[in-house]
């Protein structure tokens, strides 16, 4: 497609996106299709000859939109509420246009150098020290995998060369994380061939934070058994509740036993750009690595995860492998040396656009506002006799449940409330289990969210609680009469 056609369709698609954002609240947040609906409506094989692109665009409305769950809807409060800014989309568009594969500096000087600059800007905004150098991966899961791989490389056990299987000279290697950490830590351990039995899950306190004394005990017991502890993954902003592991107290334990400390701040790292929240990363000046995801809470379109690492040399030692056809003479950073991928997308462009368009103040204000809205919802819950909080709210995630006096089975009640809210299409919330209790989670992080959206959700929750309670009372009365 060339010249005028490219322009015409380009304008049309940008118009389409502008209308989509303007009308986003008219869509049901969760897609309402049944499984397989889209597959059943698509041909079984690709068209033999090219189609008119105008027809293809029409199918976005007809086929794709109904199958979209709208993460950009301001009432998407499930999981973590994440959304894209418009300038982020421009970054994606241009990076697709350049289509560069950042493997060697010479194949992508712009991506290689802009990434370094943008990640240094972000590091400063988060209040992290200069010793941490950033590198972009797609997701936090992959960032954490690379951090643990670098930690293992630092053991000098020749695992890169000789592997782990069939070796009698290797003790059981151990990684420690809290019971509340993200499943990506366990997946990394699986993928690195360490095995799930290498992962020790440390108990948490009443605020869902890793208990440092338990960590120390586990490490000491393992050493006595002849195992080899080598890495701790602490979390700042856990997935279930956004609890904050006490990094400052974990650091000395890691230093005493020479363990690599990786901090998973995938969600909450963004909050550290807000001066009054920056304390959440206290202690990270002594961590070995830290992951944060601008695609979670910095309005950056998926995907963009940043690994900050103090030992890029070890990351390089773990992954660099240069075949003849990729050998170059210049002394530069070649990003292919720092991970499993050869080519990398030009992801820093969208973050650069966002930082320049919003400025530090604009980004800070939005995150601060999300935390204010979460506090407002928390206040409403605390003031109500029908609801109770189930975890502290350090950032912008609220964990709570309905607890009306006359209901015994609160788990079933709350699950019904969640399903009723989600089925209506007006909002999306998700759940977790805390201390065995079915817990509702409301995340506030969308760039388009306003006070009225949180009010709407609160009304919806109370409405559903009322409907379900009334139906429960009616059913109970009928069954008494039948009896």
Rounded-to-integer distance, Cα 311 and Cα 133, Å: 8
Quick one: tokens of 455? 């009010």
Give me the least distance between CB of 146 and ligand PLP, in Å please.
12
Give me the least distance between CB of 443 and ligand PLP, in Å please.
10
Identify the H or E element spanning 162.
helix 159-162
Of 141-160, binders to ligand PLP (CB under 6 A) are 141
DSSP of 48-60: SS---HHHHHHHI
Q: 3-class DSSP state for residue 90?
A: helix
Q: Does 241 bind ligand PLP (CB under 6 A)?
A: no
Measured from the Cβ of residue 48, the count of other Cβ atoms closer than 10 Å reads 5
Nearer Cβ to ligand PLP, position 72 or 242? 242
Give me the least distance between CB of 181 and ligand PLP, in Å please.
7
Q: Give me the residue label for tokens 């449940």.
A: 401
Secondary structure letter of residue 114 according to DSSP? H
Q: Which of 233, 300, 305 is nearest to 269 (CA)?
A: 305
Nearer Cβ to ligand PLP, position 235 or 469? 235
Choose one: 137-145, 199-207, 385-393, 458-466; the region binding ligand PLP (CB under 6 A): 137-145
Give me the least distance between CB of 235 and ligand PLP, in Å please.
6
Give me the least distance between CB of 346 and ligand PLP, in Å please.
19
- Which is it for the CA torsion 429, 433, 439, 444, positive or negative? negative
Question: Nearest 5°: phi and psi at 304?
Answer: -165, 105
Give me the least distance between CB of 243 and ligand PLP, in Å please.
10
Q: Does 184 bind ligand PLP (CB under 6 A)?
A: yes
Q: Does 182 bind ligand PLP (CB under 6 A)?
A: yes
Choose one: 237-245, 274-282, 327-335, 387-395; the region binding ligand PLP (CB under 6 A): 237-245
Choose one: 133-141, 330-338, 380-388, 401-409; the region binding ligand PLP (CB under 6 A): 133-141
Give me the least distance between CB of 136 and ligand PLP, in Å please.
12
Q: Does 305 bind ligand PLP (CB under 6 A)?
A: yes
Q: Does 243 bind ligand PLP (CB under 6 A)?
A: no
Choose one: 85-93, 135-143, 186-194, 342-350; the region binding ligand PLP (CB under 6 A): 135-143
Of 68-107, binders to ligand PLP (CB under 6 A) are 80
Secondary structure letter of residue 138 according to DSSP? S
Q: Does 175 bind ligand PLP (CB under 6 A)?
A: no
Q: Which of 156, 182, 187 is nearest to 169 (CA)?
A: 156
Question: By rule CB under 6 A, what string of x and - marks binding of each residue 409-438 to ligand PLP?
Answer: ------------------------------
Nearer Cβ to ligand PLP, position 136 or 349? 136
- Partners of residue 177 on adjacent β-strands: 201, 233
Secondary structure letter of residue 236 according to DSSP? B
Q: Is 135 exposed, middle or buried (0-12, 13-18, 19+ CB in 10 A)?
A: buried
Give the list of residues 6+ apart from residue 154 with CB closer than 8 angstroms, or none. Answer: 230, 260, 311, 314
Q: Does 235 bind ligand PLP (CB under 6 A)?
A: yes
Q: Does 299 bind ligand PLP (CB under 6 A)?
A: no
Out of 267, 346, 358, 400, the residue judged to bind ligand PLP by CB under 6 A: 267
Torsion angle of C-alpha atoms 64, 69, 74, 79, degrees rounded to 10 = -150
Q: Is 243 exposed, middle or buried (0-12, 13-18, 19+ CB in 10 A)?
A: buried
Give me the least distance between CB of 142 and ligand PLP, in Å please.
7
- CB distance 247 to 263 below 8 Å: yes
Residues engaged in binding ligand PLP (CB under 6 A): 80, 139-141, 182, 184, 235, 237-239, 264, 266-267, 293, 305
């Amino acid at each position: 497609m060339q010249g005028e056609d490219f322009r015409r369709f380009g304008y049309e698609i940008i118009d389409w996106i502008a209308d989509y954002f303007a009308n986003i609240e008219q869509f049901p947040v969760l897609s309402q299709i049944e499984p397989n609906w889209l597959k059943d409506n698509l041909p079984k094989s690709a068209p033999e000859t090219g189609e008119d692109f105008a027809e293809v665009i029409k199918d976005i409305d007809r086929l794709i939109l109904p199958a979209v769950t709208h993460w950009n809807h301001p009432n998407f409060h499930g999981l973590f509420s994440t959304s894209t800014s418009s300038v982020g989309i421009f970054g994606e568009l241009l990076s697709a246009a350049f289509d560069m594969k950042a493997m060697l500096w010479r194949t992508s000087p712009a991506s290689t150098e802009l990434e370094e600059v943008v990640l240094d800007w972000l590091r400063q905004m988060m209040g992290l020290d200069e010793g941490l150098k950033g590198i972009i991966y797609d997701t936090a899961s992959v960032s954490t995998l690379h951090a643990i791989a670098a930690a293992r490389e630092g053991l000098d056990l020749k695992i890169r060369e000789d592997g782990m299987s069939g070796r009698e000279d290797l003790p059981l290697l151990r990684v420690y994380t809290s019971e509340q950490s993200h499943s990506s830590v366990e997946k990394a351990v699986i993928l690195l061939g360490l095995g799930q039995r290498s992962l020790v899950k440390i108990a948490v306190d009443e605020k869902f934070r890793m208990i440092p004394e338990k960590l120390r005990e586990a490490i000491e017991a393992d050493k006595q058994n002849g195992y080899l502890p080598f890495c701790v993954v602490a979390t700042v902003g856990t997935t279930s509740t956004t609890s904050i592991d006490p990094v400052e107290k974990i650091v000395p334990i890691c230093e005493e036993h020479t363990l690599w400390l990786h901090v998973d701040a995938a969600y909450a790292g963004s909050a550290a750009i807000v001066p009054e929240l920056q304390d959440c990363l206290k202690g990270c000046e002594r961590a070995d690595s830290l992951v944060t995801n601008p695609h979670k809470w910095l309005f950056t379109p998926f995907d963009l995860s940043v690994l900050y690492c103090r030992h890029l040399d070890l990351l390089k030692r773990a992954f660099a492998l240069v075949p003849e056809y990729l050998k170059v003479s210049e002394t530069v950073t070649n990003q292919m040396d720092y991970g499993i991928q050869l080519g990398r997308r030009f992801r820093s462009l969208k973050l650069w656009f966002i930082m320049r368009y919003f400025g530090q103040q604009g980004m800070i204000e939005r995150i601060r506002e999300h935390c204010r809205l979460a506090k407002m919802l928390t206040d409403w819950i605390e003031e109500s006799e029908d609801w109770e909080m189930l975890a502290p709210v350090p950032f912008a995630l609220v964990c709570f449940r309905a607890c009306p006096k006359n209901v015994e089975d609160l788990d079933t009640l709350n699950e019904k409330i969640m399903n009723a809210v989600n089925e209506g299409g007006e909002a999306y919330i998700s759940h977790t289990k805390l201390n065995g209790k079915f817990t509702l989670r409301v995340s506030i992080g969308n760039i388009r969210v306003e006070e009225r959206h949180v009010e709407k959700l609160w009304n919806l929750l109370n409405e559903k609680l009322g409907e379900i309670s009334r139906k429960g009372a009616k059913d109970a009365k009928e069954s008494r009469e039948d009896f």
